[in-house]
Amino acid sequence: MALRSIVYRADLDVSDLDRSVYGTFPLTLARHPSETEERMMMRLLAFALHADAALAFGRGLSTEDEADLWLRDPTGTIDLWIDVGLPDERDVRKACGKARHVVVLAYGERRMEAWWESRASGFARLKNLTVLGVSDAEAAALAGMATRSMTLTCTIQEGHVWFASPSATVEIAPVIHLAGAQVRY
């Protein structure tokens, strides 16, 4: 018998002062049985950073060759491909060939440093790639906000992200390791 995903619901109110994007997004996040709450909340952070009514979550960890989140234009062309974690360099190159812009939201500091150092020169050749990093403390604090039913407010200004729930506030300052030409942070 296969384990089922755990469903989380989030009412996310986004005020992105950097991109002039404002809105409330009722989200359903399916957490795969092998996915941690930390990774799920990193997907939520990725959504907030690129909030758009057409931005959609992928089918999950068990689906290869699919983004964690993506944004398609009306013709089906992938405008934005977002991967969370430390993806394989070959997979990132493939994504860069499929999408107009690719974002990797990396976390897990110890492993992230080695991952980035071994791939930085190869990634630098990909002009449509942005790589962001989140510290362990920030990722853990955001994971601490996870509940099956969440009401969150997210404010983004000058590259800093603040998440607030009725009981806590978390500040995240993603580190830009590589900034692709098409996305402004």
Q: Please identify, in words, the CATH class of the domain defined by 6-178.
A: alpha beta
Per-residue confidence in pLDDT tens, the chain, 185 aa: 567 889 999 999 999 999 999 999 999 999 988 899 999 999 999 999 999 999 999 876 556 678 999 999 999 999 999 999 999 999 999 999 999 999 999 999 889 999 999 999 999 999 999 999 999 999 999 999 999 999 999 999 999 999 999 999 999 999 999 998 665 54
Q: What is the pLDDT of residue 185?
A: 46
E strand map for the chain: 6-16, 21-31, 56-57, 69-72, 78-84, 99-107, 129-134, 149-157, 160-164, 169-172, 175-178
Domain boundaries, the chain: 6-178
